[in-house]
Chains A and B, each alone.
Chain A
Amino acid sequence: MIHTDLCIIGAGPVGLFAVFEAGLLKMRCHLIDALPQVGGQLSEIYPQKPIYDIPGYPEVNAQDLVDNLMEQAKPFSPTFTLGERVDHLDKQEDGSFIVTTSDKTKVHAQVIVIAGGLGCFEPRKPVVENLELFEGKGVTYMVKNPETFRDKNVVLAGGGDSALDWTIFLSKVAKRVTLVHRNETFRGAPDSAAKVFDLANNGKIDLILSANLKELGGNGKLDSVTFVDKSKIEIKLEADYLIPLFGLSPKLGPIADWGLSIDKNAIEVDTRDYSTGVDRIYAIGDINIYPGKLKLILCGFHEAAIMMHSAFKYVYPDQKLSFKYTTVNGVNSF
């Protein structure tokens, strides 16, 4: 069990800045994010795009902003659980919470800060009957441990960069790799596409183009994948694993089940301190909604500062909070 003062759900820009604001008040943070890296949609969707409305930065590259926020949070030694989704929040008798993730990591915290953006990024799933039936039994949307695929028959579906990259990587590990793509060409990185064609020409992988997933077979565990090509001919492949790689899309997910007041996929908050209707749970950034809400990073930063001053009373119930400027007091690390 990880013990912390605040558990921040979502390691996007607002979650990261919240660590800094908490740190100024001597509160420790543990962050959890469903993505395998910090930065939220900035790192996942548009890392190389410029942002023009961060105060003090006429222009800043999205990934640079994330890197700077990490640097700014560093004095307060935040800890992270990445690549895991928060599934449960359990209130304890003393008012604190135990958070449980999809991988059963447990975090004990006095206060919960939901900075979940638009929700957790989850894999987009192809429309195939029985897909859910084989999830975890051969169908997987992420390559967490490549060793899982050693000496196995692996079928990948998709045409983006991750499909190309994993095809190249797994060709060295798996018994046989087949990449199935619905077009004749790839629009991903030309180098990766060329490598994939090379591997296919040299018989190292099988490449099936202009084909679409049709059905999955197996008895309790995946053993075959059937595709249909452009001539409507069915191709059935032996498969221990199917890895559909069609990008990620945000979903509100389990947050909807935590007894919070939800409106249009966002959590309603009190604008005095961005608290939700549930004691000790706050929501900041794009995940919250209130009259006049603007989904801007800079608004999330403001919300983080305000809410930390409110959360202080739960972490230090016997202390009086006095407001201090960093220009006077500096940033005292811990």
Chain B
Amino acid sequence: MVNFTVEDQEGNRQECEAPDDMGFNLMEILKAYEYPILATCGGMALCGTCHIEVLEGKDELGQATDPELDQLETMPEYFPTSRLACQIRIGDVLEGSVLKLRGEDQ
């Protein structure tokens, strides 16, 4: 299991854990925790509704991929450590990270 912290749009933090051996991505885990993420495109980095900002752990999580950057470019706001949760595979790199939800709240 991997443990990380999620901060919602209102600033409330929650410790989350996710299995790292089932091929999940972070968007799926956030939805399982019932965070209000639309995930319109289902994980293709095409809608930007799972936008998160990496507050801690950015070095481990690495840079956004090209498809993510293409999508983030079209959005009204993004941050130096913005990522799309659907493009982050659950794994050790997430351990101890702190992630802030930036996707539009529904």
Contact = CB atoms under 8 A, between A and B. Distances in A.
Interface in A217-271: 244, 246-247, 249-252, 265
A125 B73 contact: no
A45 B73 contact: no
A45 B74 contact: no
A171 interface: no
A160 interface: yes
A159 to B, nearest CB: 5
A155 to B, nearest CB: 15
The SS class assigned to the B binding surface is: loop
Contact of A126 (B46, B48, B76): B76
B47 interface: yes
A187 B69 contact: yes
Contact of A249 (B49, B69, B73, B77): B49
Interface in B1-52: 38, 40-41, 44, 46-49
Most buried by B among A49, A158, A249: A249
B76 A127 contact: yes
Contact of B40 (A159, A183, A187, A250): A250
B41 A124 contact: no
The SS class assigned to the A binding surface is: loop
A46 B74 CA distance: 15
Interface residues of A, number: 24
B41 A187 contact: no
Nearest to B39: A118
Given A46-B44, A49-B44, A124-B104, A159 B74 contact: yes
A31 to B, nearest CB: 20
A61 to B, nearest CB: 14
B76 A244 contact: yes
Interface of B: 38, 40-41, 44, 46-49, 69-70, 73-77, 104, 106
